[in-house]
Chain A
Amino acid sequence: MANSAIIFPELVNGITLGAIYALISLGYTMVYGVLLMINFAHSEIVMAGAFFGLFLLSFFLKFTFFQNNLLLLLTSVFLLSMCVSGILGAAIERLAYRPLRKTNRLMPLISAIGVSLFLQNLFMLTLSPEAKPYPSVFPAVNFQLGAVTINSIQIFIIIISILFMVALEYFVNRTKLGVAIKATSSDIETAKLMGINTNSIISLVFFIGAALGGVAGILVGMYYGSIKYNMGFTYGIKAFTAAVLGGIGNIPGAMLGGFMLGILESLGAAYISSAYKDVFAFIILILVLIFKPTGLLGERAQDKC
């Protein structure tokens, strides 16, 4: 039987991974919201974002100025890589999905799988088929909170993720553009009648989703200390599960789903076996699809009428 010595580290690990899943799942859910399409290339954005972060980190770390100023280093790396990932995400939509929008619904999906394979191979061939080490920018210090041990990187990942999620919630609910995103997700034709340029909104959604996915990629690199061209798949499938669990199309649902999946996985690892850890996500995905296809917070059916 598992005891707290096993559960707590797994739980902290689960929450950390959950934060990463949540960030990634926002990209799936927002894109689904506006286009009713699953963006299979999103997992490769996570991978690409990790590499963009790696280049930027390696570059900035050449300057003593940045070496001595952690906050500035991290801010620059995150913001710049978010821009690059965001542009990549928006460009994929523009080039690979938009021309196919008027065809049947399967075509963009196939195109997305194509983009995914293309990006994986591109990064493998131009960079490396091997894992690349990720520079550690701050020391892993352990903190003791009662019976729970948490390290500085875990704290950093959880805080960064929550920060971006709060910012996204604010943007979507409190700004004119954000409300236009919600309108476009609930009824694209009526959104057009409001004078909303829905193509711009779709580009914006891809940009935001990819920027957040890129951040998640960097966080993965920092957490595990290495990244690889095929790293996107596992995170993609788990974040997708998180999005379905929370109710696909629903932004708070994706956040909730991400954390829940991370926690459930860690409990499964502690109580059953860590060897089965990756299987839990699939079991949860199947259970949700069978018993509650709209997910925990999903209400798209009502939303649409």
Chain B
Amino acid sequence: MRLELRGVSTFYGKIEALKGVDLFLDEGEIVTIIGANGAGKTTLLKTISGILRARAGTINFKGESIEAYPAERIVRMGISHCPEGRKIFHALSVDENLRLGAFSRDNKEEINAELEDVFRLFPVLKQRLKQKGGTLSGGEQQMLAIARALMSKPKILLLDEPSLGLAPKLVEKILFETIAEINKEGVSILLVEQNAHLALQIAKRGYVLETGKIVLCDSCANLIKNEAVKSAYLGGR
């Protein structure tokens, strides 16, 4: 159940934001994509989840070429995208947000069981069920966003900058532990992070994206030692 991109290019009008990206994610892996602001990380995830269309290249999953599939079909295939900036439905309750995450599923009992599963990961959400999404704190909203993405029972979770705007303590303790736990339960994770330190610790392999191109691809152990990566993404230490 490998997800594999070959030569994927995505455009905004005439601007080529992804320039022939090759990348794969094996079953059970956590893989991280690091890169400066504007490198194309979000564009890459949106292209995989079908929000944006690749103009060239192929995306393979479960033996199918999914690059032309509409977003809702990709969710049904088991790829869930937790977007940058959380994108909680502010006017809807936590409960409604979570159930929207399970929109592609019909079995009520399974959905309720899934709810219990995400409450185990994020107990605080259970106390907030009737509250509007917009009234949650930043950290709680991020938990809700991840929980909502899990409600479709994905094989693959695409996580776009989950630590954005959160207190560092919260990030290390809760967020990254939870990501590791979700992975242990069998969900492969493609993690886009500005916090390269943590991302390289939690992931097995990593890609470095620069202006739409993959310039490096290695095990995280090697990336952490790489001089170029150190100076550009790890604060030069």
Contacts and interface: CB of A to CB of B under 8 A. Distances in A.
Report if A and B associate in a common complex: yes
Interface of A: 176, 179-180, 182-183, 186-187, 189-198, 299, 302-303, 305
A193 B90 contact: no
A192 B92 contact: no
13 contacts: A176-B103, A179-B100, A186-B90, A186-B91, A186-B92, A190-B83, A190-B89, A193-B87, A193-B149, A195-B71, A195-B72, A195-B75, A305-B90
B101 interface: yes
B57 interface: no
B71 A179 contact: no
B104 interface: yes
B76 A193 contact: no
Interface in B74-132: 75-76, 80-81, 83, 87, 89-92, 96, 99-101, 103-104
B167 to A, nearest CB: 21
Measured as residues with beta carbon below 8 angstroms from the partner, the interface class of chain B is 20 to 34
Given A179-B99, A180-B100, A193 B51 contact: yes
Given A195-B72, A197-B70, A302 B103 contact: no
Given A189-B51, A302-B134, A196 B100 contact: yes
Contacts of B49: 193
Contacts of B134: 302
Interface string B20-52: 000000000000000000000000000001110
B9 interface: no
Contacts of A193: 49, 51, 71, 75, 80-81, 83, 87, 149
Contacts of A179: 92, 96, 99-100
A182 B91 contact: yes
B152 interface: yes
Contacts of A195: 71-72, 75-76, 103-104, 152
Contacts of A198: 72
Contacts of B100: 179-180, 183, 191, 194, 196
Contacts of A186: 89-92
B205 to A, nearest CB: 25
Contacts of A176: 99, 103
A193 B72 CA distance: 7
* Top 6 A-B residue pairs of the complex, sorted by shortest distance between their CB atoms: A195-B104, A195-B75, A192-B71, A190-B87, A194-B100, A195-B103
Nearest to B105: A195
Contacts of B83: 189-190, 193
Given A186-B91, A192-B71, A194-B100, 7 more contacts: A183-B92, A189-B51, A189-B87, A192-B50, A194-B101, A195-B72, A195-B104
A197 B51 contact: no
Which of A187, A195, A302 has most chain B Cβ within 10 Å? A195
Interface string B51-75: 1000000000000000000111001
A30 to B, nearest CB: 15
Nearest to B134: A302
